[in-house]
Amino acid sequence: MSNQMNKDRVKAAIEVLLAEVGEDPTRDGLARTPDRVAKALEFLTSGYEQDLDAVMNDALFSVDYSEMVIVKDIDFYSLCEHHLLPFFGKCHIAYLPRGRVVGLSKISRLVDVFSRRLQIQERLTNQIAEMISEKLNPLGVGVVVEATHLCMLMRGVEKQNSFALTSAMLGSFRENSRTRMEFLELLKLRGDMRSALDPARVPEESSEGALK
Ligand code: ZN
């Protein structure tokens, strides 16, 4: 999935879009808009280009430490692949090391790499968990993502579904409810949100996701 964006083609497409929504693409305020949109899109989808090995590999450390590592409240911004509108919120990550940890700043870089793509929240959550699992080979990893979806809010439909909570629990976080609860307690999620994240109650990830 490379992102060799052809800016001229993107600009031409945005000009078409502007005309189709009833605008005059040549008026002063819009003259540079196709160029701005192309640059913005290039940044917002830059996650396709990032080399995750380069991001992670030079920041892995061997340690004699086996307590839970938890990184809370990582801000992220992404684009829903169904409407190309933003969804954004916070990502919380925890893992139980098996002799290896990663620099904390790399964890948020990892979140950026996967969020700066066209996404659905469920896949974003799973990709983060699986990459940490692959790179660190921890005893377990848990990822919780809470996000607001502008495609729901702005289109005025299903306002009650504009906020979504997703989780991915692997290894000991899936198998051991005490480990999982320790993580969820540390997040101080509301009780009803916590029980919604009990893997026993969450069906296996669907490819489409709940948010359409
Ligand atoms: Zn959407």
Q: Mapping DSSP to helix (H, G, I), strand (E, B) and coil, where does residue 76 land?
A: strand
Strand partners, 118: 79
- Separation between Cα atoms, residue 145 and residue 123, nearest integer Å: 11
**Ligand 1 midpoint to CA 211 (Å):** 7
CA 197 – ligand 1 centroid, Å: 22
pLDDT of residue 129: 98
Which comes out higher in pLDDT, residue 30 or 4? 30
* pLDDT higher than 70, residue 54: yes
For the chain, percent of residues with pLDDT exceeding 70: 86
**Domains of the chain and CATH, by start:** 7-44 (no CATH), 52-196 (3.30.1130.10)
Report the alpha-carbon distance of residue 136 to residue 102 in Å, rounded: 7
With CA atoms as reference, report the closest residue to 95 among 119, 123, 66: 66
Query: Average pLDDT of 168-190?
Result: 92
- Rounded mean pLDDT, 161-172: 93
The Å distance, Cα 18 to ligand 1 centre, comes to 21
- pLDDT above 90: percentage of residues in the chain: 69
pLDDT of residue 40: 96
* 187 vs 210 pLDDT, higher one: 187
Contact present, 184 and 146 (Cβ < 8 Å) = no
**Banded pLDDT at 206 (limits 50, 70, 90):** very low
CA of residue 60 to ligand 1 center, whole Å: 35
In angstroms, the Cα distances linking 67 to 63, 64, 104, 125, 134 are 11, 10, 15, 22, 19
Average confidence (pLDDT) over 181-206: 67
What's the 155 CA to ligand 1 centre distance in angstroms?
A: 10
Q: Which residues pair with 147 in a beta bridge?
A: 89, 164
Q: Which residues are part of the catalytic machinery?
A: 80-83, 121, 149, 151
The predicted structure's pLDDT at residue 166? 97
Instruction: Specify the pTM.
Output: 0.86
**pLDDT band, residue 203 (cuts 50/70/90):** very low
Q: How far apart are CA 119 and CA 123, in angstroms?
A: 7
